[in-house]
A and B are shown apart, each in its own frame.
Chain A
Amino acid sequence: MTFNASFNPSGGGAIVGLGMTEMTREYTYSSTGLAAIAVRNAITDAGLDKSDVDGILVNPGIMGNLQPDLQKALGLENVRLQTKMDGRGSTAGQMVQYASLAVQSGLANVVVCVFADDPLRGGSAGAAYGGADRKVTGMPSLHSYYGHFGANTGYALAARRHMALYGTTQDQLGAVAVSTRKWAQLNPIAMQRGEMTLDDYHNSRWIVEPFHLLDCTLVTNGAIAVIVTSRERAKDLKQPPAYVIGMGQGHPGNPRHAGAEYEVNTGAIQAGETAYAMAGVGPKDIDVRELYDCYTYTTLVTLEDYGFAPKGEGGPFVEDGKLGPGGSHPTNTGGGELSSYYMWGMTPLSEAVIQTRGQGGDHQVKDHSTVLVSCQGGILDMHASLILSPDSTAGTGGHS
């Protein structure tokens, strides 16, 4: 079904503040404490005052350690828009969309969107994402008996399906890991900045075949907040605005039934179609791609679903390194979730804001007039897209 592009991009809102905590494997503060630091940093970054904030959207990570009434912990006394949201990894993109709609309608003027998580407390983060310690009975207990645990397994099964249908190779998954690491080496806040060769990739231990350790994201403690306001308000603030010129969502029903190929066709197809139509652009117009990359495979399949490569050809597409620094298709320019930090959809969103502003330093892409953000949730169950631009006149019809 084709999206009816009746959206007026002049109402799409703008991201005017970005705040991050330290990205770390250490435990420093609780999710609530981390969220407060990120919000404080975002307010300062935007040149706003805490009293300007009148909306807050809250997204806890895997630990679920953020309460919906976070405004109390933040001492916000002027909140007229609030909720806790859960589209898993897609939430960051969704939050900016609902915040955009709110500032467009006047329901709120300055909306903070915040993600925080603290899965690492001196132990392995695999436990939080594995779910092996859950006590279950009936059919779910059969699942546990087979040893079918965790997000790693779900995505590995999807990657295997792609490999079987299209001949995607281990080298091609490895090429994504290597090109993403090259970006991380240029980003001072990336957590993994060591040299990585394709051999290093192949030599890293198996987690769940076809995934090596270096196919998988790096679980992180931290928080990121962004601030969305109206386009009018954005013009007077401290930072160059990142205008939201396109947005869309796609949430496949994913039937576990013959005929469905959900493993290789993600919600990015529908979400991207909507966002492209809204912005009046297509894949050829995108300068920078910030794609949710919990696994190498996620990058590969998402590139196909946004139309950068035909379905099934993501493998050959990524193999020549075109995603890396100096390549024709700069992708995950901060080092992504694979090498930089794993803050769910806030990872691609934060780097997209940095790139749109032109503040990427050594990892800044020269052409950054149209930046795509892809946020993936669940096991390819939920998806949200944003298209950002530094140009307030960009998008359909050039409304300003």
Chain B
Amino acid sequence: MTRPSPTSDELSAPFFEGTANGVLMLQRCRNCAKYAFPVQEICTNCLEGDLEWVESSGEGTLHTFGVMHHLYHPGFARDLPYNVAVVELTEGPRMSARVDAPSDELEVGMELKATFEPAGEVMVPVFQPA
């Protein structure tokens, strides 16, 4: 049993085109310039529906994390325990992710940088200690 593979769809295509090229893509509102973690149809700040795709720095800090010991999906049996992280990107949005480091080396606030690993048909961001 393998982990669930992410799949690109119509709305998320620009994100996965970015990861394929080693870039973490975000959305930004053309009206109020607020960044959004994709995919949002409407800006939650100004409620305008005019978001553009922009490249992010791929840099951020560890906002919080947990270490999973319970098996929720059989595809993770060989990965336990594994970490789940919330990364705050320099541009503002926070995203779920994994940090590629032993759990006992994780510290809230540590600086991180996105790298990309293959996952089925797409590339996905995984964060490394900067």
Given contacts A157-B86, A255-B44, contact A144 B4 (CB under 8 A): yes
Interface pair B86/A147, CB less than 8 Å apart:
no
Contact A137 B5 (CB under 8 A): no
B92 touches A209 (CB 8 A): no
Q: What is the CA–CA distance of A143 and B84 in the complex, to the nearest angstrom?
A: 10
Most buried by A among B6, B69, B73: B6
Contacts of B79 in A (CB 8 A): 147
Segment among A114-122, A256-264, A281-289 that sits at the interface with chain B:
A256-264
How far is A294 from B66 in the complex, measured between Cα atoms in Å? Answer: 17
Residue A105 at the B interface, CB < 8 A?
A: no
Please determine whether A160 and B108 come into contact, CB atoms closer than 8 angstroms: yes
Query: What is the bound-complex CA distance between A139 and B98, given in angstroms?
Result: 15
Within 8 A of A (CB), among B16-39: 35, 37-39
Is residue A62 contacting chain B, with contact meaning CB distance below 8 A?
no
Q: B92 to chain A: which residues have CB within 8 Å?
A: 257-259
| A138 lies within 8 A of chain B by Cβ | yes
**Cα distance A210–B67 when bound, in Å?**
7
A165 CA to B62 CA, complexed, in Å:
13
Contact A150 B72 (CB under 8 A): yes
Closest Cβ–Cβ distance, residue B2 to chain A (whole Å): 10
A145 and B3 within 8 A (CB): yes
Give how many A residues have a beta carbon under 8 Å from the other chain's beta carbons: 40
Bound complex: CA of A148 vs CA of B10, how far in Å?
23
Classify the interface of chain B: helix, strand, loop or mixed: loop
Give the docked Cα–Cα distance between A198 and B66 (Å): 22
B residues 82-114 touching A (CB-CB < 8 Å)? 82, 84, 86, 88, 92-98, 103, 107-109
Q: Judging by beta carbons under 8 Å apart, are A209 and B84 in contact?
A: no
For residue B63, give the distance in angstroms from its CB to the closest CB of chain A. 7
Please determine whether B81 and A206 come into contact, CB atoms closer than 8 angstroms: yes
In this assembly, does A237 line the interface, its C-beta being within 8 Å of a C-beta of chain B?
Answer: no
| Contact A258:B67 (CB < 8 A) given known A126-B72, A139-B38, A149-B72 | no
Residue of A nearest to B88 (CB): A258
A263-B66 CB under 8 A given contacts A130-B72, A141-B4, A145-B5: no
Minimum CB–CB distance for B46 against chain A, Å: 13
Residues from chain B with a CB closer than 8 A to the CB of A258 are 88, 92-94
Q: Of residues B10, B11, B64, which shows the largest number of chain A Cβ atoms within 10 Å of its Cβ?
A: B64
Closest 10 CB pairs of A and B: A164-B108, A209-B67, A138-B12, A206-B69, A138-B9, A132-B72, A149-B72, A156-B66, A132-B73, A161-B64
